[in-house]
Structure 1
Amino acid sequence: MTELPLTVKRSIELLGLVLVAAVLYLGAGIIMPVLTAFFISLMLLPMFRFFCKRKIPESISIVICILLVAIFVGLVIWFLSSQIGMLVSDFPQIKKNVGEHLKSLSAWVSSISHYSTSEQVAFINKKSNDLMNTAGSLAGGAALTLGGIFAFVGLLPIYIYLMLFYKDILLRFIFMWFKPTDHPKVKDAIYETESIIKSYLMGLLIQITYMTVLLGGILLLLGIKHALLIGVIFAILNLIPYVGALIGNIIGVLLTLTSSTDLTPVITVLAVIAGVQFLDNNILMPRIVGSKVKINALFAILGVVVGGSLAGVSGMFLSMPIIAVLKIIFDRTEMFKQWGVLLGDERPTKSPMSFSVFRRKKNVPVKSGVEKG
């Protein structure tokens, strides 16, 4: 069989990328629940095997695992609801504090520009009216989004049950795609994927817990209002690489501004978040997750942005596990090895422009990089 020219191979790869992106964009409502269920199923495998070793039937074992996940999610929702309820109960004070901040902001704008207070108020009223005029169309979109969320949540336990129940069929399907001589590599890739994804997801659960306790506890001791809410929101948003931490900082500042007219609590919140995040990134998370696939920062951020564009919030959260799985596959496939190099952070010790050995598809000496994902 005649081998295809290199340019044709690369063209097919790029065309495949475009087709995958198009499928994800058009079928996000179907694909994202399946992918989410796949990753949750991997995380539940040790628990499922534990119950099966105790002679509990497979179906009952799967149901127990799903119920435990539902209880955990219910506790998280209850905690968030209680914290948001406390925030709502402080609404009169929040309204007063926001008014004070707006007055200070208005005075500052007047001091650096020619806009008077009355002109600023007229501008805000005009924009508010424009916003209200578009509320009707947005409400329809919100209803569709809410319906999609309910469909997502409703399908998730069904997918998890079926994936765990039919896991052997799925594994056989994967092996049948490859020649028997390649089965040892496929087996190694499956084991490594399972190990890395379980380690990554369990690490994220542990990270959410200690980030909430550390951040919320320290802020609570320092007398910051809504400390636990700030802690849990930042911990959840921190699951989104790089971008989530920035959004978490902004929300923390906004919540602090609404509860106080002084800027000192804002500085305190930013300082505590910076300290806890440094501790998390450099000491706690590397030790908890351990050895895992290394993804460079450029493609971690690109993955979050592209995932959000193609599949919304779920795409942002799942971007890192998906990239990790792809890198495992690429590193073990000669045809796509260059894509594994592109996603990783194993930098050559010398420039490929100067040494031809660093341009080849084989292991080369690398510099240590920042581990993420």
Structure 2
Amino acid sequence: MQNKIVEAMPLTVRRAIELIGLYFLGMIIIAGQDILAPLILAFFLAIMLLPLYRWLRRRKLPDMLAIGLSLLALIIAVGLLVWFFSAQLTNLMSDFPVIKQNVRLHLNTFSQWISERFGYSTAKQTALITDQNEKLMNVATGWAQGAASSITGILVFVGLLPIYIFLLLYYKNLLIRFIFLWFPKPDHAKVEEAVRESEIIIKSYLGGLLIQIAYITVLLGGILLVIGIKHAILIGAIFALLNLIPYVGALIGNLIGVLITLSSSQELWPILAVLGTIAFVQFLDNNILMPRIVGSKVRINALATIVGVILAGALAGISGMFLSLPIIAVLKIVFDRSESLRQWGVLLGDERPRQSPMRLPILRQKSRKVQDALKRQNDIEPTDPKQVDEKRQAKDDGAGRKEGEL
């Protein structure tokens, strides 16, 4: 009945409703980001804990105990991560006198370069800095107030996470029933497929990210340590975490790596060594390691990724940037299984046609067969068991398609 009502609407009305829905969704995210961010993160973490929870349930443990033990394992893992960073930051702070001396040396060198290059004397530079002191103090005060409120928000965030995770695991069957009741019975097969595939994608993606953090920290930190860079492990760990934010995080990670190296050394070659090592590790990560670990079950195109990260950052801050990619992946799964929203799935995906829709009219359609053909053409692995069998059968039969032939 709902599908018939939607199909009876004029196309312009349906598109207008979609755009209005996107607008109100953005307003809801802005207004409720303090509530939604921990809830969404808790949802992803609960999905990651499902294998451990199910394993404990198969050992005949009570439901509450299985959830509690799964949550305890997560708390221990996070505690070890916090301890690791605390130890690295303590090591950095112990070198504060050397850092202060190196920063002063670099600033003097930079000031001398400006004086020689632009004829702006050191005295004028000092006067300019003195004039800006009051503004800098006002900015620093604002940052301090913002940091205090941020710390409060972080404490609330961390406090809510275990509660949300526990309740999501405890009421998971109720929530799944709620999802099914939103849709008419003929659509339940698609809903089940979307739910199962979303779980696979989330576990594959987030599990791959955990492995990625570990090997980038070890690989980058180990190489820098062998070269002789101070605080190498800290640089590797910071870059590994920031690399979770697509594109933007890598740039910030490079900048922080350079700043830590500058403050720890009076020479120029360590900076070049850090940048070269980061570039080498990124090449291995992007082209060899990460594709093999995460796979290619759902691929988001670079344009959608960059816009999604920036938009999520504008709507929900840093937490939104970290959560943007898995949310986009889940949205793509939902869009691909909805007749009325499939064009949004095409916009987000990486199933790039080799021929223009201007030349091949079949590419202008929302046909599922066309979508599956484009996935095969772009070597995107299916997650549904039936699609996996079809792909294997197609390979066995030698059913390769020519370029542009759908």
Q: What letter corresponds to residue 378 of structure 2 in structure 1?
A: S
Whole-Å Cα distance in 1 between the matches of residues 147 and 216 of structure 2?
31
Q: Residue 330 of structure 2 corresponds to which residue in structure 1?
A: 325
> In structure 1, the residue corresponding to 2:8 is in which secondary structure?
coil
Q: Residue 296 of structure 1 corresponds to which residue in structure 2?
A: 301
Residue 368, structure 1, aligned to residue 378, structure 2? yes
Map 1:254-293; keep pairs closer than 5 Å: 254-293=259-298
Residue 242, structure 1, aligned to residue 243, structure 2? no
Q: Residue 90 of structure 2 corresponds to which residue in structure 1?
A: 85
1:219-241 CA deviation, whole Å, 9 max, x = no partner? 11111000000000000000011
Q: Residue 340 of structure 2 corresponds to which residue in structure 1?
A: 335
Contact 2:194–2:334 at 8 Å: present in 1 too?
A: yes
Whole-Å Cα distance in 2 between the matches of residues 369 and 227 of structure 1?
37
Contact 1:212–1:235 at 8 Å: present in 2 too?
A: yes
- Which of the residues 77, 101, 105 maps onto 2:110? 105
- Which of the residues 29, 49, 61 maps onto 1:44? 49
Q: What letter corresponds to residue 37 of structure 2 in structure 1?
A: M
Deviation of 1:370 after TM superposition, in Å, equals 10
Whole-Å Cα distance in 2 between the matches of residues 136 and 112 of structure 1?
34
Residue 225, structure 1, aligned to residue 230, structure 2? yes
Whole-Å Cα distance in 2 between the matches of residues 295 and 70 of structure 1?
31
Deviation of 1:142 after TM superposition, in Å, equals 2.1
Whole-Å Cα distance in 2 between the matches of residues 325 and 14 of structure 1?
19
Range 36-45 or range 291-300, more displaced: 291-300
Deviation of 1:182 after TM superposition, in Å, equals 1.0
Deviation of 1:48 after TM superposition, in Å, equals 0.3
* Closer, same or farther: CA 51–369 of 1 in aligned 2, 3 Å: closer
Contact 1:296–1:370 at 8 Å: present in 2 too?
A: no
* Closer, same or farther: CA 109–369 of 1 in aligned 2, 3 Å: farther
- Which of the residues 362, 371, 376 maps onto 1:357? 362
Q: Residue 390 of structure 2 corresponds to which residue in structure 1?
A: none
* Closer, same or farther: CA 164–230 of 1 in aligned 2, 3 Å: same
1:302-353 CA deviation, whole Å, 9 max, x = no partner? 1111111111111000000000000000000000000000000111121122
Q: What letter corresponds to residue 258 of structure 1 in structure 2?
A: S
Deviation of 1:138 after TM superposition, in Å, equals 3.4
Whole-Å Cα distance in 2 between the matches of residues 368 and 361 of structure 1?
17
Contact 2:92–2:231 at 8 Å: present in 1 too?
A: yes
Whole-Å Cα distance in 1 between the matches of residues 326 and 233 of structure 2?
28
Q: Residue 54 of structure 1 corresponds to which residue in structure 2?
A: 59
1:268-297 CA deviation, whole Å, 9 max, x = no partner? 111111111111111111111123211000
1:101-128 CA deviation, whole Å, 9 max, x = no partner? 1111111111221311111122223323
Q: Residue 351 of structure 2 corresponds to which residue in structure 1?
A: 346
Whole-Å Cα distance in 2 between the matches of residues 55 and 243 of structure 1?
46
Deviation of 1:166 after TM superposition, in Å, equals 0.4
- Which of the residues 292, 306, 315 maps onto 2:311? 306
Residue 212, structure 1, aligned to residue 212, structure 2? no
Deviation of 1:369 after TM superposition, in Å, equals 8.1
Q: Residue 19 of structure 1 corresponds to which residue in structure 2?
A: 24
Q: What letter corresponds to residue 289 of structure 2 in structure 1?
A: L
Q: Residue 14 of structure 2 corresponds to which residue in structure 1?
A: 9
Whole-Å Cα distance in 1 between the matches of residues 28 and 205 of structure 2?
26
Whole-Å Cα distance in 1 between the matches of residues 206 and 130 of structure 2?
46
Deviation of 1:135 after TM superposition, in Å, equals 3.4
> In structure 2, the residue corresponding to 1:348 is in which secondary structure?
coil
Whole-Å Cα distance in 1 between the matches of residues 223 and 146 of structure 2?
39
Whole-Å Cα distance in 2 between the matches of residues 313 and 160 of structure 1?
21
Whole-Å Cα distance in 2 between the matches of residues 275 and 128 of structure 1?
41
Q: Identity of counterpart residues, as a percentage?
A: 58
The number of residue pairs the alignment matches comes to 371
TM-score by length of 1: 0.96
> In structure 1, the residue corresponding to 2:350 is in which secondary structure?
coil
> In structure 2, the residue corresponding to 1:349 is in which secondary structure?
coil
Whole-Å Cα distance in 1 between the matches of residues 335 and 252 of structure 2?
32
1:134-177 CA deviation, whole Å, 9 max, x = no partner? 43343332222111111110000000000000000000000111
- Which of the residues 155, 161, 181 maps onto 1:156? 161
Contact 1:48–1:61 at 8 Å: present in 2 too?
A: yes
Whole-Å Cα distance in 2 between the matches of residues 191 and 323 of structure 1?
16
**RMSD, matched Cα:** 1.5
> In structure 2, the residue corresponding to 1:294 is in which secondary structure?
coil
Q: Residue 122 of structure 2 corresponds to which residue in structure 1?
A: 117
TM-score by length of 2: 0.89
Q: Residue 176 of structure 2 corresponds to which residue in structure 1?
A: 171
Whole-Å Cα distance in 2 between the matches of residues 138 and 246 of structure 1?
22
Q: Residue 63 of structure 1 corresponds to which residue in structure 2?
A: 68
Q: Residue 256 of structure 2 corresponds to which residue in structure 1?
A: 251
Whole-Å Cα distance in 1 between the matches of residues 134 and 40 of structure 2?
41
* Closer, same or farther: CA 100–370 of 1 in aligned 2, 3 Å: farther
